[in-house]
Amino acid sequence: MANLQTTYLGLSLKNPIIVSSSGLTSNVESIKKLEANGAAAVVLKSLFEEQILHEAGSLSVHSDYPEAEDYLKSYVTSNNVEKYLDLITDAKKAVDIPVIASINCISASKWIDFAARIQEAGADALEINVFVLPTDSRKTAEDYEAVYYTLAEKLRKLISIPISFKLGDHFTNPLRIIEQLWYRNIQGVVLFNRFFAPDLDVKSMKVTSAEVFSNPGDIRDTLRWVALANHAVPKIDISASTGIHSGEAVVKMLLAGANSTQVCSALYKNGTAHLKAFVEYVDKWMNDKGYASIADFKGNMNYGKIGDPSVYERSQFMKYYSSHD
């Protein structure tokens, strides 16, 4: 059997497959099943900045007393955080794999104080899931990017555990964002986040949610940018996410330069036991190719190591369509 061990955020993983933040990682029993089926680490279901603040406000809306409103806001915020801290502590006691906490945020405001308590609860690392929707035409791209940098700087001063940023694919220059995060002592990035997307129901005339789960075809953008980022910012760890539906997809991402991969939609569609198929494929592929360890081939097909790096730059289908009438 090949050695499937890898490292991500300085953490030793028994294989390159992490279960990403979702309902699958929201309770200890589920996390234990994920470990039993081969998960190398879990990213806990996110603690939401928006949700905490919204719940605090919604509970106090009927109160006529400022003191009562302040109490409710304080209680709800504390209760959400306490439950999350308990999940971290309980999960660490129940499993041997790394437990990565997650915060889903839209700002660099006072919620950052929560990070210190997450570290104290025993989380092995912290994944920051942040997206600032650029809805203000008066702001520049630099204004929006500054939120990410400010957030990184504040967190790095507050906690010592490894930090990763889960990024979206909407940036004009993702490589600069990744490089700037590395300069701010952020150890890793997750490429890419899958955000809520609106859709329109033309019958009911309502705004609804588009497809929640990813599909195998979504691997394409991720693969391109993993290969580019591993070459441009080689010291930062990369966890590939979105479109990881098979062991073959895991191998592709490792070849492109990822340290690990994150899976979610495939497990919702096929069940937790599907993790075993991922691990078995990677093991068989490595044995068939004669690779003893992941280090033997990781990044061997990134932007700088393939014969024609322009294939990662190509964005048009002209060659394909020109040969079809």
DSSP state of 44: P
Query: Could you tell me the domains of the chain?
Result: 6-322 (3.20.20.70)
215/240 Cα distance (integer angstroms)? 14
Read off the pLDDT of residues 268-301 as tens digits, 9 standing for 90 and up.
Answer: 999 999 999 999 999 999 999 999 999 999 999 9
Q: Which two tokens stand for residue 306?
A: 């393939």
Q: Which two tokens stand for residue 149?
A: 């940098």
231/292 Cα distance (integer angstroms)? 23
- Sequence-ordered alpha helix ranges (H) in the chain: 28-36, 49-60, 66-94, 113-120, 141-158, 174-183, 219-232, 247-256, 265-270, 274-289, 318-322
CB-based burial, 191-222: b 16+ in 10 Å, e otherwise:
bbbbeeeeeeeeeeeeeeeeeeebeeebbeeb
DSSP state of 3: B
Biggest CA-to-CA distance, the chain: 73
Any idea of the CA torsion for 52, 57, 62, 67, to the nearest 10 degrees?
A: 100
105/197 Cα distance (integer angstroms)? 17
Backbone angles phi, psi at 182, to 5 degrees: -60, -40
DSSP state of 77: H
Q: Output the pLDDT for position 289.
A: 97
Entry field: residues in the chain: 325
Question: If you write DSSP's letter for every residue of 129-178 in order, what string do you get?
Answer: EE------TTS-HHHHHHHHHHHHHHHHHH--S-EEEEE-S--S-HHHHH
Count of CB atoms within 10 A of residue 134's CB? Answer: 13
The continuous run of DSSP H or E covering 8 comes out as strand 6-8
Distances (CA, A) of 139 to 146, 182, 244: 11, 25, 35
168/165 Cα distance (integer angstroms)? 10
The continuous run of DSSP H or E covering 238 comes out as strand 237-241
Distances (CA, A) of 312 to 23, 216, 227, 261, 282: 34, 19, 8, 20, 24
317/282 Cα distance (integer angstroms)? 31
Q: Output the pLDDT for position 62.
A: 46
- For the entire predicted model, the pTM comes to 0.86
**pLDDT digit of tens for each residue in the chain (325 aa)?**
789 999 999 999 999 999 999 999 999 999 999 999 999 999 999 887 765 555 555 555 444 445 555 554 555 556 677 888 999 999 999 999 999 999 988 776 767 888 899 999 999 999 998 877 778 899 998 988 999 999 999 999 999 999 999 998 888 899 999 999 999 999 999 998 776 667 787 888 888 766 666 677 678 889 999 999 999 999 999 999 988 999 999 999 999 999 999 999 999 999 999 999 999 999 999 999 999 999 999 999 999 898 777 777 765 555 554 455 5
CB-CB contact of 60 with 53 (8 Å): no
DSSP state of 243: S
